[in-house]
Amino acid sequence: MNLELSEEQVAVRRLAEEFVTREIAPHVVAWDRAEEVDRSIVKKLGEVGFLGLTIDEEYGGAGGDHLAYCLVTEELGRGDSSVRGIVSVSLGLVAKTIAAWGSEEQKRRWLPGLTSGEYVGCFGLTEPGTGSDAGNLATRAVRDGDHYVINGTKMFITNGTWADVVLLFARSTDAPGHKGVSAFLVPTDTPGLTRRAVHGKLGLRGQATAELVLEDVRVPASAMLAPEGKGFSVAMSALAKGRMSVAAGCVGIARAALEAAVTYAGEREQFGRTIAHHQLVQELLSDIAVDVDAARLLTWRVADLIDRGLPFAVESSKAKLFASEAAVRAANNALQVFGGYGYIDEYPVGKLLRDARVMTLYEGTSQIQKLVIGRALTGVSAF
Ligand code: FAD
């Protein structure tokens, strides 16, 4: 692949850098302490086009390729993973999935609002009893005339308390050959749908994570995204691209850790000179730097494959596995460089570590990514 960025890609990266400096950086500590990002950030993200990347202009999108999407995601991840997650879910998992699988009517109904930031989307797959084994859903959608009636509970749903629409996965058929799962676009103001904020998270505290409870939620049959029984394929295709987005966000975390640690090492003095003079501190810094570069190159490879229309799912799992573990390592190494000051929230590295930790868990844990890669290597599914 060509690693040289085009003029457009350089420009969009600069725009994202400026956006983070202006709209995110001044608020990061306050949002983290308040456990809430200011919702006005969604409109601002829409205005600069970051919620419409890779979506056709015809549907309100901003066009652009997946490498540009990775560049923006890295910058947002460097600024605040809570904000990065809003984009990765509302655009990455919801809007892009509607663009890929939706009917013309569904695209026109939802995409302009999602790309402008008027609407927020959330992705409802996980349930209290169903995480990694995502095909084994207990939420049921039962056909009733020209409607479906949905009952079930969804857990850990990013953007859940804010969202206007949930891309919801429910078992709707027992037809053989499928996992019986279908995807639905459910407006969150539909009667019977209630949500409860999940508090006390280790990281991503600014993000609106929720439990969604569906009691006799009636949606028209036209709310189904893709044919009946295709829901598991919809979910897996969304997550294959989503994992690249998580990986790009992780590159941003690792880069923020590197920048903070290098600056601090050049200022803090111990034993009569700055700690940057100590070889073991340089080892910590160089380990972070290698993690940043390796994670970024794996991530860009996925973007390149998608943009060239080639298979990318296994490479996306590799990038997500490596980048998420690298982000945790990088933030932890940076915290070590900061010594005791790394442990209090006046300095940025503790938050980076808390935010990084979940990246090895969601959109498939590190173990699940290894099973995806192992299946590709051996031809044997160990799920
Ligand atoms: P489990 O599946 O119970 O796993 C527990 C442990 O067992 C893990 O270590 C796992 O790796 C291991 N394990 C399980 N099966 C195997 C196996 N076959 N082989 C080896 N090891 C195995 N979900 C959504 O649908 N939408 C969202 O927007 C969303 N956002 C999230 C935001 C946050 C902050 C968090 C914490 C989670 C979010 N999730 C979301 C859910 C997330 O995707 C799940 O937590 C994740 O898939 C793991 O499921 P689980 O927590 O039930 O763990």
Residues 6+ apart with CB under 8 A from 102: 110, 111, 185, 225
- Return the number of other C-beta atoms located less than 10 Å from residue 81's C-beta: 32
What's the half-sphere exposure (Cβ side, CA atoms, 13 Å) at 57?
A: 3
Beta bridge partners of 186: 166
When pLDDT is cut at 50, 70 and 90, the band that residue 339 belongs to is very high
When pLDDT is cut at 50, 70 and 90, the band that residue 37 belongs to is very high
DSSP class per residue in 334-359: HHHHHGGGGGSTTSTHHHHHHHHHGG
Catalytic (active-site) positions: 363
Q: Please state, in angstroms and rounded to a whole number, the distance separating the CA atoms of residues 166 and 221.
A: 15
Of 364, 324, 54, whose CA–CA distance to 235 is shortest?
A: 364
ipTM of the complex: 0.99
Q: How far is CA 53 from the centre of its chain?
A: 14
H or E element that contains 225:
strand 224-225
| Best mutation site among 236, 361, 373 for ligand 1 pocket (most ligand atoms within 8 Å of CB) | 361
For ligand 1, is residue 132 a contact (CB within 6 Å)?
yes
Percent of the chain with pLDDT over 90: 96
Measure 358 CA to ligand 1 centroid, in angstroms.
10
**pLDDT value, residue 2:** 84
**pLDDT value, residue 266:** 98
Nearest-atom index, ligand 1, CA of 89: 28
Mean model confidence pLDDT for the chain: 97
Residues 6+ apart with CB under 8 A from 141: 148, 149, 150, 170, 171, 172, 182, 184
Residues 6+ apart with CB under 8 A from 210: 122, 157, 160, 161, 195, 196, 197, 198
> Is it the case that residue 45 has pLDDT exceeding 70?
yes
Measure 226 CA to ligand 1 centroid, in angstroms.
25
* Cα–Cα–Cα angle for 355, 361, 365, rounded to 5 degrees: 150
- Return the number of other C-beta atoms located less than 10 Å from residue 119's C-beta: 23
- Show the tokens assigned to 109: 């109904």
Q: Please state, in angstroms and rounded to a whole number, the distance separating the CA atoms of residues 379 and 366.
A: 19
Name the residue with the closest Cα to ligand 1, atom 4: 132
For ligand 1, is residue 361 a contact (CB within 6 Å)?
yes
Compute the average pLDDT of residues 110-120: 98
Q: Please state, in angstroms and rounded to a whole number, the distance separating the CA atoms of residues 377 and 383.
A: 14
**pLDDT value, residue 177:** 61
Measure 155 CA to ligand 1 centroid, in angstroms.
10
**pLDDT value, residue 178:** 66
Q: Please state, in angstroms and rounded to a whole number, the distance separating the CA atoms of residues 314 and 308.
A: 16
Of 329, 333, 85, whose CA–CA distance to 204 is shortest?
A: 85
Measure 362 CA to ligand 1 centroid, in angstroms.
6
pLDDT in tens, 256-288: 999 999 999 999 999 999 999 999 999 999 999
DSSP class per residue in 27-44: GHHHHHHHT---THHHHH
| Phi, psi at 212, each rounded to 5° | -110, 130
